[in-house]
Amino acid sequence: MPTLRPTLHLDRLGAVIAVLIGVALFAAPFVTYRANRIVAGEGRLLTDALPPAGVTGVLIVVLGVTLCAALARKLLVRLGAAALGLCVIFPAVGWSAGFVTPSGNTFARVSPSVGFWLLALAFALLAADALTRLHFGPWARLAALAAAAGALALLLLSGAWNDLSLMKEYANRADSFWREARQHLWLAFGSMAAACLVGLPLGMVAHRIGRLRAAILQGLNIVQTIPSIALFGILIAPLGYLAAHVPLAAALGIRGIGAAPAFIALFLYSLLPIVANTVAGLSQVPAAVTDAARGMGMSARQRLLQVEWPLALPVVLAGIRIVLVQNLGLATVAALIGGGGFGTFVFQGIGQTAIDLVLLGAIPTVALSFAAAVILDAVIDLTQRGAHDRD
C-alpha cells in the first residue's frame, strides 16, 4: 500500500499577509527621514533604519510571524504571533527614529512610512481573523481591548516614541491637544446624548402611531442625505441671526460658526438611527409576549418598561452604536467651521503639508471609533443574552 505523506496547507489569508510583509520588508521604506517638518523626505528601508542587531531581531520575529500566518492552524498560535509582531514593530519604529536622526539635530523629523504601516496592517489582519474565528465572548473582547490600550499607553509612557515626528508634534501642542480632545468628545457624546433624549421617545411615538411613523422616518431620512459640510453651512445663517437678535442665545455661546452648528448638525444626523432602531426593536417584540403580559393584568406602561423595552434594547443599542461611531468621525469635520476637535490638527496639517500633524488628529479619532465599536458591541451581546434569559 502507498504511504500517505503529510501535506502542508497554505492559509489563503496567510498568503496575503506574507505578500504584504514581503513588500514591507524589501520594497517599501520603513521610515521617512526629513531635514525639517515640511520638506519632502527620503525613505529608509528596514535594513537602513535600524542597527544590524535590531534588523536581525526584527527580521527573525517578522519571518516567524509570516510562517505562523501561512501554515499554523491553531487560532491561539496565530493570535499570539500577531501580538508578538505588533509588540516588536511598534517599539522598533521608535528606535529607528533615534538611530536615523543625527546626534544633536533638533530640526530633523522621522515618521513611520509605508513599510511600517503595511507590517502593522498585516499583523492587525492576522489578529482580527484569529479573534473573529475564536468567537470570544463580550468580556474577553473587552479584556483584549483593555490589554491593547494598556500596551499602547506603556509604549507612549516609556518614551520609546519620543524621537518620532508625531510625538514631537504632540509635545509642541500638548495643551491644545487635550483641549481639542475634550471638545471632540463633548461634540460626539453630547450630541448622541441629546439625540437619545429626543429620539427614544420619538421612536416610541412612531411605533405606537402608525400614521406618524412614515412621516417621521422620511423627514429624518432627508436630513441624513444632506452632506455634512452642506448642513454645517445651512445652519450658519439661522444661528448667526439668532445670536445677533437674542442676547440669551449669544450668552449661551450660540453663534453662526463654532461648536453650536456642529453640535446641532451631529444631533440631527443622530436622530434617524436612534428613531429607526427604536421602532424596529419595539416592532420585533413577539405579539404573544405582549398578549401574555396583557393577560397578566399589566398596564400599557408596565408592558413597555418591563416587557417590550428590555426585549428591544439590543436593537436600540445597535442604533446608538452606529450614532457614536458616526459622530466620532463627523466631529472631525466640525473644525472647518471653528467647532474644534481633532479635526483642528487634521486641517492645520493639510494646510501646512505636515503629515504628522494630520496623523495627530486622525489617529486618536480612529482609535476612539474602534474602541467605541468594541465596547458597544460587547454591551449589545450582554443585553442580548439578558433578553434571551428573559425569554
Let me know: does 110 contact 76? Beta carbons within 8 Å.
Answer: no
**SS3 label, residue 109:** strand
Instruction: Report CA Rg, the chain.
Output: 26
Q: Is the pLDDT of residue 314 over 80?
A: yes
- For residue 170, how far is the Cα from the chain centroid? 20
The Cα–Cα gap between 323 and 188 comes to 9
Least reliable range by pLDDT among 24-38, 118-132, 313-327: 24-38
pLDDT in tens, 141-176: 899 999 999 999 999 999 899 889 999 889 888 889
Average pLDDT rounded to a whole number, residues 294-310 = 79
Least reliable range by pLDDT among 6-15, 94-103, 299-308: 6-15
Q: Which three cell numbers stand for residue 150?
A: 494598556
Let me know: does 317 contact 381? Beta carbons within 8 Å.
Answer: no
Q: What is the pLDDT of residue 1?
A: 46
Q: How far is CA 1 from CA 4, 5, 7, in A?
A: 9, 13, 18
Q: Which three cell numbers stand for residue 376?
A: 458597544
pLDDT in tens, 104-138: 777 888 899 999 999 999 999 999 999 888 888 88
DSSP-derived letter for residue 4 is P
Average pLDDT rounded to a whole number, residues 320-326 = 93
- H helices, E strands: number in the chain: 17, 3
Q: Is the pLDDT of residue 66 over 80?
A: yes
pTM to 2 decimal places: 0.86
Q: Is the pLDDT of residue 361 over 80?
A: yes
Q: What is the pLDDT of residue 77?
A: 92
In which band, very low, low, confident or very high, does the pLDDT at 296 lie, cut at 50, 70 and 90?
confident
pLDDT in tens, 241-264: 676 767 766 666 677 677 888 888
DSSP-derived letter for residue 297 is T
Which long-range contacts does 322-325 make (Cβ < 8 Å, 24+ apart)?
322/273, 322/277, 323/192, 323/195, 323/269, 323/270, 323/273, 323/274, 324/188, 324/189, 324/192, 324/372, 324/376, 325/369, 325/372, 325/373
CA dihedral 296, 301, 304, 305 (to 10 degrees): -100
Q: Is the pLDDT of residue 182 over 60?
A: yes
Q: Is the pLDDT of residue 285 over 80?
A: yes
pLDDT in tens, 325-358: 999 999 998 888 888 899 999 999 888 878 889 9
Q: Is the pLDDT of residue 374 over 60?
A: yes
Give me the domains of the chain, ranges plus CATH numbers: 12-164 (no CATH), 174-390 (1.10.3720.10)
Let me know: does 190 contact 341? Beta carbons within 8 Å.
Answer: no
Q: Residue 301's CB: how many other CB atoms inside 10 A? A: 8
Phi-psi region at 108: left, alpha or beta (left = phi > 0; alpha = psi -120 to 50): beta
Average pLDDT rounded to a whole number, residues 275-292 = 86
Q: Which three cell numbers stand for residue 182?
A: 475634550
Let me know: does 226 contact 264? Beta carbons within 8 Å.
Answer: no
- Sequence-distant (6+) residues with CB within 8 A of 377 are 138, 141, 321
- Sequence-distant (6+) residues with CB within 8 A of 365 are 184, 328, 329, 331, 332, 342
